[in-house]
Amino acid sequence: MFSCQYLQVMFRINFVVVILCLVMNRPYQFYYFVPLVSFWYTVMHVTLVLPPRITRPAHANSEASPFNYLYSIIKFIGLGGFITVLFLSEYNTTSLLYGMMFSLVYNALTQYSLINDQSNSNILSGRLALLVSFAATVFIASYTTMTVICTNKPDCNEIHPYVVWVPITGFIVLRNMVGILRTRYSSFFAWFGRISLELFVCQYHVWLAADTHGVLVLIPSYPVANVLVTSFIFICICHELHHITDVLTPFLVPNDSLRAVRNLSVFLFLLMAIGVHDGVF
C-alpha cells in the first residue's frame, strides 16, 4: 500500500524537520504545518490506493473504466464523512477533499479529451469561455466581498471550510483558461515555490528567535540592514537544504522497496534508541 514514491514524498517533507527536532531539541508538533501535511498526505494516499483506482501503472495500456470514477466519488464521500465526524472543528480539513475532487474532475476531462491543456490554445472557446471566465471572476469577487464584510474571526473561521473552494477554483480557471497565460510562468516565483517548505520551517531559526517570540538581530540599531542580511542568509540556507534533500532522497529512500523498507527500519530503530536514552519510553 505504501509505495516507494510515498516514502520519498514523506522523506522530502520531514527530513529537515526531523533533523531540527534532534539538533534543536524541539517537539515534532512545533513545526505544525509539516505534521499536518504529512497526516493528510497519508490519508489521501490510502484513499486513492484503495480499489478501484482511476490510474494505471506505467506499463499498463488500459484506461480507467467510467465506473471507476463513480466508485472514486463514493470513496471521496466516505472520506468526507470521516473528516466531518472526526475533524469538524478544524477549518482547513476540507481543503484535502476539495483538491482530490478537483483532481478527479481534471483527470476525467483530460482522459475523455474534453479539455487539452498541452497546447497553447485556449481550453474553451466562444461564449462558453466567456461564461466560465465571468463565473470565475464572480467567484473571486464574492469571496473577496465576504472577507471584507466578515469582521468576526470565529464566524469567518466557521464559514471558511465551506467556501474556501470558491476563490481557488476561480483563480485556477482564470489562470488556465487562456493559453498564453497557462503556458507562461515566473521563474523567480517558481524557484521560491520549490523551497517553500524549507522557507516555512527555517523561519523559526533564522528570521525568528526565542521560539518565535523574538526576532534574530545580527546588526543592532540598523533594522533595515539587519532584515537584508538575515533574509539573504535565510534564503541561501533554505536553498541549500532543499538541494541536500534532493541529493539524499534517492540514496536514503531508493526505488527498491526492500532497500527502502530496510532503511526505514534502521531509522525507526535509531529513533527508538534516542527516545530510550532521553527517557521518552
233-281 pLDDT, tens digit each: 999 999 999 999 999 999 999 988 889 889 889 998 988 888 887 776 6
Whether 87 contacts 96, CB under 8 Å: no
Strand, helix or coil for residue 4: helix
- DSSP, res 29: G
pLDDT of 20-43, one tens digit each?
A: 988 888 888 888 889 988 988 898
Indicate the SS3 state at residue 208: strand
Whole-number pLDDT of residue 64 = 59
Confidence at residue 60, expressed as pLDDT on a 0 to 100 scale: 47
pLDDT at 112 over 90: no
Q: Is 63 a residue whose pLDDT tops 70? A: no
Q: How confident is the model at residue 59 (pLDDT cuts 50, 70, 90)?
A: very low
Distance between CA atoms of 14 and 35, rounded to whole angstroms? 8
Q: What is the largest CA-CA distance in the chain?
A: 68
Is the confidence at residue 5, as pLDDT, over 70? yes
On the question of pLDDT at 3 being above 70, the answer is: yes
Which of 56 and 113 is assigned the larger pLDDT? 113
Cα 62 from Cα 277, distance rounded (Å):
53
Instruction: For residue 240, give the nearest of 195, 209, 208 by alpha carbon.
Output: 195
Q: State mean pLDDT over 79-98.
A: 67
Banded model confidence at residue 11, pLDDT cuts 50, 70, 90: very high
The DSSP 8-state label assigned to residue 209 in this structure reads: E
Lowest mean pLDDT among 33-47, 67-81, 207-221: 67-81
Tell me the pLDDT tens digit for each residue of 117-153.
777 777 777 788 889 899 999 999 999 998 888 888 8
Per-residue confidence (pLDDT) for residue 139, from 0 to 100: 94
- The answer to whether 173 and 132 have CB atoms below 8 angstroms apart is yes
Q: Which of helix, strand or coil describes residue 78? A: helix
Q: What is the pLDDT of residues 150-181, one digit of tens each?
A: 888 888 877 887 888 899 999 998 888 887 88
The pLDDT of residue 61 is 45
Spatial distance between the Cα atoms of 28 and 18, rounded to a whole number of angstroms: 7
Which pLDDT score is estimated for 135?
93
Task: Write the DSSP string, 251-266.
Answer: HHS-S-HHHHHHHHHH
Mapped onto helix, strand or coil, the DSSP state of residue 219 is coil
